[in-house]
Chains A and B, each alone.
Chain A
Amino acid sequence: MKIKFKLNGEYVEFDAYPGESLFELLRRNGHTEVKGNNCKTGECGACTVLLDGVPVPSCTILAGRVKDRSVITIKGIGNVEKPHPLQKSFVEEGAVQCGYCIPGIILSMKALLDENPNPTREDIKKALSGHLCRCTGYIQQIEAVEKAIKLLKEEKNA
C-alpha cells in the first residue's frame, strides 16, 4: 500500500506493508536517524518521533496511522550547520555520549518546550521519564534543556 504523509516538512509517499510499524517504514526507507529495535512496547523511547507535534514511540505506531499526517524525526528540527537550540545545548553540556537515545529525547524535549516554554525542572524530569539513557545519565540532559530554554529566549528576542 502507498502511504502519503509529511515527513520533516515535505510530502513523501512510501510503499508500506499494511501490518508494519512506523519505525519499520522509516528505517526501510533510509531514515536510520530513528534509533531503536522495534520492541513494539515503547520500552526505551529511543525511536520517538513527533506525530502531529506529539512525541510517540514509532515502534508502537502502525504505519497506516500516519497517512496524511506530519512526522518529524531528529533530522527535521536541525542539522550540523544549523542545529536546533536543543541539539546545540545537548552537545555543549556533555549530555550526549553514545547518542543512541538522544534523538528521541530531544524530540520529546522539543514537544515539551513547544507546549510550555518555561517548564520547571520537575516538568523536564517528567517529560524525560519515558526515555532510557544508560551512559550519560540524566543530570546533564536536564541542564542541557535548561540551557536550550535560555537559547530559545535569546533567539526570540534577537
Chain B
Amino acid sequence: MEKTRVSRRAFTKGLALGLGAAAVPAGAAAFDWEAFLQKRFREMSEEEVARTIRRLERDAARRWKKEIRISAAKAMPGVVFGYGLDLSKCIGCRRCVYACVEENNQSRNPQVQWISVLRFRKDEKWSDLEGAERYYEPPAVPEPGFFYLPVGCQLCEKSPCIKVCPTGATWREPDGIVVVDYNWCIGCRYCMAACPFGARRFNWAEPTIPEGEVNPDTHYLGNRPRPKGVVEKCTLCIHRVRAGRYPACVEACPVGARKFGNLLDPGSEIRYLLDHKRVFRLKEDLNTRPKFFYFFSA
C-alpha cells in the first residue's frame, strides 16, 4: 500500500514539474511593469503623456537603432477632415499603397497594407463589391475595360468599430480621425469583424521594417512603431495633417485622384467637391456615414 502511494504521488509530481519546465520559455526577458500598467491615452494627464512618450521613444530607438520622435499633437480646432477620391482618374498603380506603407511604418513581413486597391470590370455590377479583384498584376495599368477603387478607413461618423471595441482602445478624435491606442488594444479583433470596409489590419506577428526605411517622424495615435497583437489602420497620416501637410497618399498619387481637406472650411477643395461633383460613399445603406467620398469627374 505504501509503495503504490509513493509511486502515485511521485508520478503526479513529476508530471507537473515536467510540464511546468516545458512551459517556461527560454530566455524570458525582464518584465516591463510601467508598460504593462500604462493607462489609456485618453485618461492620461499631460505629464503622463510626456513620460509615456519618452519611454516609448527610448524603446523604439533601442529596437529600430534610430532616433524616433513621437508627437502627441492634438487636433486643430474647427477642423474635421474629409477625403475625396476621383474614380475616373485612378489607374490602380498602387503608388498610394506603398507610399502609405513607408510613411506609416507598416510591417513588411508579415505584410501590412492599409490601402486595398480593388479592380472591377466596367461593364459588370460592382457596387456591392462582390466581384472585386485586388491581386491583379498586369504589365501596365490602367487596363482597358477596368476601373480601380482604392479602399481604406472611410472615416465614419457612426463608426461600428468604435461601437464594439470592449476596452475603448479605438475612438474618434475631434478632427474626425478614428485612432487606435496601440498600448491599450487587447487584440480581440471585434473591430475587424465590425468594419464594413475591411479597413482594419492586425499585427499577426512582430512587425518588421528594413533598417533605414523606418520613418522617425511619428505620432502616438498614428504611425509610431507598434507591437504584435494589436489592430491598426489608416490614421489619415495624423502626424502630417495635424502639422498642416497632406497625407502621403494624396501626394503620392501620380494622377491626382486623391483630394483632401477640412470639411468645416467652406472654401476648401473638399467642400467644393461635395458641392459640385456627384459624390457617393461605399455601403451607404449601412448608415455609418463615412467622410470618404468617391466620385467620377468624367
Are these two chains actual partners, yes or no? no
Q: B residues engaging A (CB < 8 A)?
A: none
